[in-house]
Each structure stands twice: as structure tokens, then as C-alpha cells.
Chain A
């Protein structure tokens, strides 16, 4: 089975990999690049735990063929902080206890980051819609919504990786 060259920039690092074309983007990120922060929770594209940024837009990495990300820029949860400096939404999550078991958290952070990048002052309704895809079984979502609202209200300025 012919392998293909995948050229991909992940969290500002450029990689060249030879992969089988059936590999999913999430498999490349987790298994080839060791970035296990992005999780998988289902087989039907329903849970969105695998959400990452692909060329600036959030997608389910389990539902994208890795080869479709050839030449693309990807950002995962590991790329939200800048060294020890967490991004505003990460800091807000800590303050609001917006995670419990933590398995959905990476996806939530990515979705929240995307929402705030596009709409810096969302209403609660808009936050709910922006995070709608991401399933969480532990928190009942409201702490996550509060965390996003706090960032929207300007309580966390700067830090982390502004480049999405």
C-alpha cells in the first residue's frame, strides 16, 4: 500500500511524515506526533472531543483524512499556551473549575478559543451554540459557559498563543 508524504505544521512545528492515506488526522496527531492531548470519545462524529484547529477553523480531527491537511496548519490543545503562560481561556477554566474528568476539556478549549476569536463578546446563548458540538458528561456545561463569559467580559487579558 503506497504511503503518501504529509507535510503539516502542528503548533508551529513543521513535520514531514509518510502515512497510509486512510490515516485520520487525529491518528497522525496522537500516534505519529505523540500529541495525546486531543482525545477520541466516539465512532460517529458525535462527541467532538477530537476538536482541533485546521487552518484556523475548528474541525473534528477524527473526521478529516490526514492527507486533507497536507500543507495545512494545525493547532491542538498543546499549542494554546506559550511556555508557562496559559491562554486566557485556559486561565479562566482553572478559575471556574470548568472541567472535571478532563477528557472533553481539550476539545472544549479549542471550541471556546474559536468562538472568542470570531466573537469576542458572545452572549450566553451564543456561547451555548458555539460549544454545542462538544459533549461533556461531567460538568453539566454551566461552569464552562461561565468560564467563557468571563473571558468575554475582559477579565483575562493576553497571554498564551494568540495566533490561531
Chain B
């Protein structure tokens, strides 16, 4: 008999019909009566004082209804690390100073987009350009131009993680190597750009439709900056066209449309152009990485020292988290008896760097896995063997940081090893590279300073058996709507089609922190499971009263059938029971609640996923061009809830992470992004995607609902490293500077030939 009725079955995504028929309404599609269109004027300077902004001519243009600048706002410096006021450093509409090319300085609302655009040309801004600095290693020098008064030497945040005695351990090492890496930036490239429709009404209430990963965060942040009460603000986000980490902070479309709408009491819609999306939204944190590792000659890991400088860009954003996580995941997924990490996030006059799928871990994994490959080569140890020897295991405690409760890493290594063996000998200039990873299932740290449980859920069971499930989580494509429906259905004992989901509306839904850090399955899932368990308990209470079984019997509901577990043929229909239960409760529907907040779960996360990925690539020695042929991933996400979802997440992660590995980059010239469009910024198309294979390694995670852990973000960790190692296997060159372009590969191959 199958373990579950609903969990781990290939059901249709609950939003499927809406999405395949064009019915799904995204913020991009929202249109309201009397709606105005907004545009944002942005700084052309990377660092400058704003002397004066003259909006007279713009205001006078026919069709323009309002023009606002920082002077029209409360000037609140906001940030997502709300608990730490000194890290709340971004006004969004700059008042006195601009710190990156693209920073908003004014916004216009007009009767149509064209008029708004014309008005922008009529806004006169006088700047006093200031010296700027673009590289973190330059910005940290004495005498470098200061971007923020309170940040000496432009140091925004520092982080330190340490255990064991690293210096002593290095002395014991038979082999020590040090390497420097450069991890590039990356753009999220959500298909739906950042957008918002704000509508303020005379009763003092603000409604904002927006493309977001966390309507709760946006509501609170808007409250911080607009001076409105949190719950006089309603944020609606039923469908979000991609997030990947770019959409849980307050953005310029949301803020400027709200400010304009509050002035006019009319709806204002702002949709960022693709160019604005590249230039002026947050991006992956570029990092300069130093790694020094000491091992025994049999490959046992002894000591690792890591120093990282990250390019912070103009503001803190989520960069502080990326700084910590990169240092934390640098030690993953291995047992390092001693470890020391020092991270420095440095302000630079570039667009702020923040969170992008993986959150510092893809960078860490790239560097770690490339170095381990080199260590294995130098010591003549099999690359799977060296990883297996040092792999984390269930029960391992990362000293002072985390307890690993479930871990299928070794089995993942075994499965990939088997696949590589089956592949056989590679032709010349082809190679298989591998990388192993571990990742968090949501974070424990309350930097947002919420007083609420991290996730909550409310269930209402109605007379016809239909279940209203109210959740705060956000589906941005990763499938949380389906996952939560499945968890609810499984726990309650009904089918997914019995669930009527309510999400994406802060007026109607309980609080959930949002879709980031791969937290929804574990955290919202636990809250849903708890609520469903309570609803079930109430129904079973009634059913037990009706059936009066012997006290020794337990009851359960499975697939709409309430029954004695020991005698499943004895029972009654869920539908009948619900009807009568409600009558018995004075006609009140059955209501249940659930919530989840991690307590005492270490420094990072309640649970960790693991995996190993192998990338087979062919390199053209004439041009250095890399072609991906195969990508095989063995991964442990505990119990798979939504198998179609997991496979989709894996394949999408591969495409994104492979892009990070070899085709995507955000080159800049004096703070200006040089390729802010989809022609020059190259994401993978169908023709570059390799064949992908997923191998599930099932474990049971006690912290997760039904044993589940994350499966969406961790999968972006290994691909760049696996790709880099594939190139290394194919050509003998190890490119430590992302992205691994054909030009770099060719240069390295030629340099190697010359050396010979």
C-alpha cells in the first residue's frame, strides 16, 4: 500500500488551469478605473549630491497629474534588516545623495505611459557628482570615497564564524593549498518585471497589487515608510511572475506608486521596464573569495580558512544575510574539524547586491567544490571518495551552528558515482564534473523583527466538505500553493480538489514571512499540517462520538473515509461526518489554526537538504566553447511532497545555475551595467539545456511536514562548480573566475599549452 494518498503523487498544479488558459491575473495585468501610469526618473551618476530638482516643467505637461521627489516623502531610511536600524539605510526616493546609477530621484504619474515618459525628460535635476568607487577591494582602502557617513572604510557588515583551532590544525596538515576565486553577479530575470498598482482611498486605506514574494514584508515596510498603520495597508499578490530572491524587499515600483497614489487618491501603476529591471533592481552578490584548506594525505579534511569580500553596492538590502550564509555554507556539506570564516561586505557605488536563489551558497559551493577537485587531483585521490570520506551525516553538529538531523549525502554520492561509471570513458575534451551541496530549509533568524509566528495557517471546513485553507505563503512559480494543498489534504484525509486555497492577500490571510530562503515547504507546511491536524481532530471527535468504538481503537481519515485504523472497513464518509459535526456545533464551520516558528534550531535553519550533481560537458578546444550534454542530480529533500514540482525546480535551478556558471554576467563600467537587456544578457534557451536526470534519495526530516525539506534553492548551489569541474576534467584548466566564458577557457587552454 502506498505510504500516502496525496503526498508524492503527480497531481496537477492547483493554479494550472488559470496559467494554461491565460486567466491568471498578474500585477502586470491589473487595470483599475481612473488608473494613472507612473514612471521613475533615475540617477545617471554613481555617486552625487542632489542639489536641486525642478519639477515645474514636468508638472505643467498636459496629462501629468503629479510629480514627487524625496522631499514629498517622510524620508524614512528603510531596510529589510529592521531589527538593526543602522542597516536600514535606503530611502528609495533619494533625498540628498544618490549612490548608484539607477537610484530613483523622482516619480511621475500621468494619464498614460507615454506622457509619463515625456514628463521625465522635463524634470531638471542638478547634481554635484562625487568621487565614486566600484570595487570592494578599492572601496575598503583608506581614503576611498565614503558612501555612508556611518560606515568607516565603506565597511557595511562583517561576519565571523569559527570553530576548532584552525592554525593548529593547519600545522597537522600534510597538504595545504590556497586559492582565490571571483564570483560574479547575476540578474534574476523574472519574466514579470517588478511592478505595482497602488490605490489610496479617502478613508486612509492603501491597497497595493504587486509582484512579490512576501506580501507581509511589503505591507510592513510600506507602513514603515508611509506612516500608515500596518493594517490600513492591504497588499495583494495572487500570481507572481517569478521572484528568485528579487521581490521580497520594498522596491521602487511599490514605493513610488504608493507615494503618488496617496497624493492623488487615484490608482497609480508602475511597471519597470526590462532595462530598469537590470539596472536598478537588486542582484546576486559578487564575491572575492580566498580559501585555504589543509588536509591529511589520505584526504581527511582538517582545516579551512575563508576570507570573503563582497561587493555590497549602495545599500545593505539582504546583503548581510548573503554574507553570513556564504561563510556558513562554505563548510558544507563536509565535516571540517576546524574552520574560520571572515566576511566583509563593502559598500560600493553600484546597484545594491542582495538575495538571489542560493543566497551566497552557490558562490560558496563553486569555490569549495573547485578547490576540492584540485586537492583530490594533487593527492591522487578519487574525487567521489574524498567527498564521501568527509561527508556530513545525520546527527552531525556543525559546532555552534547547526544540527544535521537528516542527511542522505553519502547515498547521493553513491548514486552519482554509479552514473559516472555507467557513462564510461569520455572522448577527448569532454568531462564530467561533480559538486556536492547542502542548503537550508528556511532561516531561524528574525532580522525582520516580526512579532508574529513565522508561518500561520487557518482552516475552515464547510458543510459540503470543502476546506478553506488560508495561508500567507507566496507562490512565485515554485509551487507552494500546490504543496500546501497537498499537505492539507494528506493530513486532513481529503483530496486536493476539496481544498479551496486563499492566499496572496494580507487582508484575508494569516502572516507568513514569504517565499525566500526556501522556507515555505518546511515552515508554512508545518503550520498547514498543524491546522489540518486540529481540524481532523475536531472531526474525529465528532466521529468517535457517533461511532462509539472501543476505547483502544484509533481513528483516522484517509481519502475522505473516516475509519478505525485497525478496522478500516468500519467508518463513515467524511462528508457525512462534517455535515453532522457542523450541525452539532450550532451551525459553526469547523475552524482550526496552525503556526510554526523555529525555536532553538541553531544559527541558520531547522533542516538541511543535500545533493550531488554531475555535469557532463564538451569543450571545443578551438574556441573554448562549452556545451552541456548531461546533468544528473541525486538529491535529498527528505520526503518529496510534489514530485512534478520538485523535478521542475531542479531543472529550472540547473538552467539558472548553469547560466551563472558560463553565460550570464553583469559587466560594469564605472558603475553602469553594460548589458541591461535580454539580447546582451544571455540566459539559457531550450537549445543550451542539457538532458537532466533526477535521482531522489529519500530521507526523513523530523523538523519538516511529513519529513519534507526544501527542494528549490539548494539545487542552484552545485551547477557552477560541477560545470567548472567538468571543464577541468575535459581540459585540465580550472577557471576560478565566473562566468566560465569560452574566451576564458580558450585563453587558459592556450596558456597551458604554452607552459608545456
Contacts and interface: CB of A to CB of B under 8 A. Distances in A.
Given A44-B677, A140-B689, A141-B655, A37 B22 contact: yes
B12 A49 contact: no
A140 B652 CA distance: 4
Contacts of A141: 651, 655, 684-686, 689
Contacts of A116: none
A80 B275 CA distance: 32
Interface string B528-563: 000000000000000000000000000000000000
B589 interface: no
Interface string A21-62: 000000000110001111111111011010000000000000
B19 A102 contact: yes
A135 interface: yes
B16 interface: yes
B20 A93 contact: yes
A94 B24 CA distance: 14
Nearest to A36: B29
Contacts of A139: 648, 651-652, 655
Contacts of A128: 686-687, 689
B190 A137 contact: yes
Interface stretch (B75-83, B153-161, B235-243, B314-322): B235-243
B20 A140 contact: no
Contacts of B691: 142
Given A78-B21, A80-B21, A142-B692, A101 B651 contact: no
B417 interface: no
Contacts of B692: 140, 142
A97 B645 contact: yes
Nearest to A27: B113
Interface string A103-140: 11110010000000000000000011101111111111
A103 B22 contact: no
Contacts of A95: 10, 12
B539 to A, nearest CB: 31
Contacts of A127: 686
B421 to A, nearest CB: 24
Interface centre among A49, A102, A129 (most CB of B within 10 A): A102
Contacts of B273: 43
B494 interface: no
B192 A97 contact: no
A150 interface: no
B223 interface: no
B477 interface: yes
B195 to A, nearest CB: 11
Contact of A102 (B241, B243, B645, B647): B241
B479 interface: yes
Contacts of A129: 686-687
For the residues of B in contact with A, the DSSP-based class is loop
A96 B644 CA distance: 7
Nearest to B656: A137
B683 interface: yes
B12 A94 contact: yes
Contacts of B644: 96-97, 143
A66 interface: no
B191 A43 contact: no
B600 interface: no
Given A78-B21, A100-B478, A135-B683, A142 B192 contact: no
A62 to B, nearest CB: 11
Contacts of A80: 21
B242 A101 contact: yes
A43 B677 contact: yes
Interface residues of B, number: 60
A137 B10 CA distance: 22
Contacts of A41: 191-193, 274, 678
B24 A102 contact: yes
Interface string B14-55: 011111111111101101000000000000000000000000
A143 to B, nearest CB: 5
Contact of B191 (A38, A97, A101, A143): A101
B25 A36 contact: yes
B189 interface: yes
A74 interface: no
A8 interface: no
A157 to B, nearest CB: 18
A29 B677 CA distance: 24
B477 A100 contact: yes
Contacts of A96: 644
B186 to A, nearest CB: 12
A130 to B, nearest CB: 9
A137 to B, nearest CB: 5
B28 to A, nearest CB: 7
Contacts of A35: 22
A13 to B, nearest CB: 15
Contacts of A39: 26, 28, 191-192, 241
Contact of A137 (B20, B244, B479, B649): B244
B458 interface: no
Contacts of B192: 39, 41, 101, 103
A42 B677 contact: yes
B25 A137 contact: no
A67 interface: no
Given A101-B240, A137-B244, A142 B21 contact: no
B476 interface: yes
Contacts of B523: none
B368 interface: no
A7 B188 CA distance: 40
A43 B20 CA distance: 24
B20 A90 contact: yes
A50 B677 CA distance: 16
Interface centre among A42, A47, A104 (most CB of B within 10 A): A42
A138 B22 contact: no
Nearest to A129: B687
Interface in B257-284: 273-275
B413 interface: no
B652 A137 contact: yes
Interface string B670-693: 000000011100011111010110
B32 to A, nearest CB: 13
B463 interface: no
A52 B192 CA distance: 18
Nearest to B277: A42
A44 B275 CA distance: 10
Given A78-B21, A101-B190, A140 B651 contact: yes
A105 B15 CA distance: 12
A5 B479 CA distance: 44
B402 to A, nearest CB: 29
B686 A132 contact: yes
A152 interface: no
Given A137-B242, A140-B654, A46 B677 contact: yes
Nearest to A89: B20
A135 B16 contact: no
Contacts of A132: 685-687
Given A94-B20, A103-B191, A137-B244, A44 B686 contact: no
Given A94-B16, A100-B649, A137-B242, 11 more contacts: A36-B29, A37-B21, A39-B241, A40-B28, A41-B192, A90-B20, A96-B644, A102-B15, A103-B190, A138-B477, A139-B655
Interface of B: 10, 12-13, 15-26, 28-29, 31, 188-193, 239-244, 273-275, 476-479, 644-645, 647-656, 677-679, 683-687, 689, 691-692
List 6 A-B pairs, minimum CB-CB distance, nearest first: A37-B22, A101-B477, A140-B651, A102-B19, A103-B241, A97-B644
